Amino acid sequence: MQVSAAPGDEQRLARDAALAGTETIIALGGDGTWGNVARGILQSGRNARLVIMAAGTGNDFGHTLQLPAGDFAAMARIAISPRTERIDLGCIDGHPFLNVAGAGIATEVLEAIQVPSLLRGSIRYLAAAIPRLHRFGAIKAEIRCDGAAPGDPVSYLAIIASNGTRFGGGFHIAPRASAQDGLLDLITVRDAPLLRRAALLVRARLGRHLSEAEVGHALCRRCVVTFSEPPVLDVDGELTKAGSHVVEIRCLPGALGIAMPA
């Protein structure tokens, strides 16, 4: 067993384990840990497969694959089963991701929940998100998907590329998403007045936001987002500054093997 020594160290441990010939890597943590381990496996170039066990704040990606990630005994049985399936990864600004990546209000929420708290799951995200509904200044960007002509710059609350169905401890951000279709679900939320922002937050929590006027939804293999300045990005719950104001998002079809029930 290897224990990470610092945030993000899981990527190095997973890469080294895969390079050493480990065929099955069990990741104990949440979406951030699982994403780091997936990046390490991808970086190794080997065919090690991932087993996820839930011990984090959100633990959302397991729901996309309908895995009992919180049941350690069940996941141990899956770890020794022979069945492996290939799933997609996303990539944003050169950073592969397992579940969700993007820019907007979610990055400020992530910054807020770095402070230790007794709250867990969606309650912790909600407690951080609600006060930021008033403070957040919208981001301006233009989006071009799969070679289409770019639209005019628009003010957004959020631009989210989703490989999974949920994030933030239970926000059903892309309820129709599949991690095995070779596509990412691009969810955009245009800016709105305060009360409307609050309503959209509630609708997103329930997965009923896609029909709202401010919300856009597209399936894409690759898109390019041009911001007014390099944005802070959320990559599987980890924060990173984009290298440029032009950010590429793309799908990596079948990039990762994951253990599934026999």
- State whether the Cα torsion 87-227-128-115 is positive or negative: positive
**Are residues 113 and 234 part of one domain?**
yes
Same structural domain for residues 139 and 229? Answer: yes
Say whether pTM exceeds 0.75. yes
Residues 129-151 pLDDT 10s: 888 898 999 999 999 999 887 67
- 165 in a domain, yes or no? yes
Give the CATH number, domain containing residue 56: 3.40.50.10330
pLDDT given for residue 208 in this prediction: 95
Q: In terms of Cα–Cα distance, which of 66, 29, 73 is closest to 236? A: 29
Q: Which of 56, 88, 120 lies at the terminal end of a domain, its last residue?
A: 88
Q: Are residues 129 and 159 in the same domain?
A: yes
pLDDT at residue 116, as a whole number? 65
| Dist. CA 27–CA 34, nearest whole Å | 6
At 197-219, the pLDDT tens digits run: 999 999 999 999 999 999 999 99
Beta strands in the chain (DSSP E): 24-29, 49-54, 84-92, 95-97, 100-104, 139-145, 154-162, 184-190, 215-220, 222-227, 232-235, 238-241, 246-259
Pair (227, 121) in one structural domain: yes
Which amino acid does the sequence have at 85? Answer: E
Q: Which domain holds residue 215?
A: 96-254
50 and 29 inside one domain: yes
In a domain, 260, yes or no: no
- Give percent helix, percent strand, percent coil of the chain, each to the nearest 5: 30, 35, 40
Do 19 and 140 share a structural domain? no
Q: How far apart are CA 51 and CA 49, in angstroms?
A: 7
What average pLDDT does this structure show over 27-47? Answer: 96
Determine the average pLDDT of the residues in 110-114: 78
Kindly state whether residues 239 and 191 are assigned to the same domain: yes
170 shares its domain with 225 = yes
Q: How many Cα neighbours within 13 Å face the side chain of 34?
A: 28
Q: Does 136 share its domain with 223?
A: yes
Decide if 188 contacts 151 (C-beta within 8 A). Answer: no
pLDDT band at 120 (very low <50, low <70, confident <90, very high): low
Residue 11 CB coordination number (10 Å): 21
Same domain, 33 and 157: no
CATH of the domain at 139: 2.60.200.40
Of 88, 119, 151, the position where a domain reaches its end is 88
User: Do 216 and 241 share a domain, yes or no?
Assistant: yes
Residue 262 domain-assigned (yes or no):
no
Answer whether residue 45 shows pLDDT above 90.
yes
Q: Could you tell me if 83 and 141 lie in one domain?
A: no
Specify if 2 maps to a domain: no
Q: What's the number of domains the chain is made of?
A: 2
Q: At what angle do helices 121-135 and 194-206 cross, to 10 degrees?
A: 160
Which among 88, 123, 146 is the end of a domain? Answer: 88
